[in-house]
Amino acid sequence: MDEKLDLFYNRRSVRKYADRPVSDQQIEQLLKAAMAAPTAMNLKPWEFVVVRDADQLEKLRKISPFSNINAPCAIVVCGNLGVFKRPLMERFWVQDCSAATENLLLAATAFGLGSLWCGLYPIKGMIKSVSQHLELPGSVIPLALVFVGYGAEEKPARTQYDANKIFRERYSDKW
């Protein structure tokens, strides 16, 4: 029964990558998974900028000490707030795009690729830098910088399951 959890346990944050490219077809598989995530009112506010050009990757690596990663591909997951026709409809865009990002990471794992999620939103400086490098319009907010590639480090599968984080019916009753 537990083998169904392998995919989740095998997804680890990979920070060292092999010098081996990722193809258009591979990227499309990952984005098919990403765009299968649920979104509030099915509004699908996500957009994805795929970066493999050496100069562009170098710019992204420099936006923070945590993004100095040698992967051959970065996918910037963005929310396009322009899809929301009425105020208040955009309140779930971070959740929607985060679910898509998690699907992307898990699909990378399924296809034998490593991945790393670097948070951008709501850090203003990183949003500004990435928006400039990718020439994003003002209505498109970069949420996450995801590195993808063949891993050059091994990490054991794991969960961080902790029964102390679970409650039964109400917060006073521990699991």
> Interaction with its own copies in 25-84: which residues (CB under 8 A)?
28-29, 31-33, 35-38, 40, 42, 44, 46-53, 56
State which residue, 20 or 160, has the beta carbon closest to its own copies. 160
Which range, of 15-23, 147-155, 165-173, touches its own copies by CB under 8 A?
165-173
**Interacting positions 120-139 with its own copies (CB under 8 A):** 122-123, 133-137
Smallest gap, in angstroms, from Cβ of residue 157 to its own copies? Answer: 9
For residue 163 the two structure tokens come to 């029964």
Pairing of strands 140-149, 170-174: unpaired
CA 173 to chain centre: 34
- Which positions from 3 to 22 touch its own copies by CB under 8 A, shown as an x/- string? -xx-xxx-x-x---------
* 85: alpha, beta or left? (left if phi > 0; alpha if psi -120 to 50): alpha
Number of residues that bind its own copies (CB under 8 A): 71
Regarding 145 and contact with its own copies (CB under 8 A), the answer is: no
Q: Which residue is associated with the tokens 């970066």?
A: 51
Short-list 26, 3, 5, 15, CA closest to 155: 15
What gap in Å lies between CA 119 and CA 11, rounded to an integer? Answer: 17
**Interacting positions 82-101 with its own copies (CB under 8 A):** 91-92, 94-95, 98-99, 101
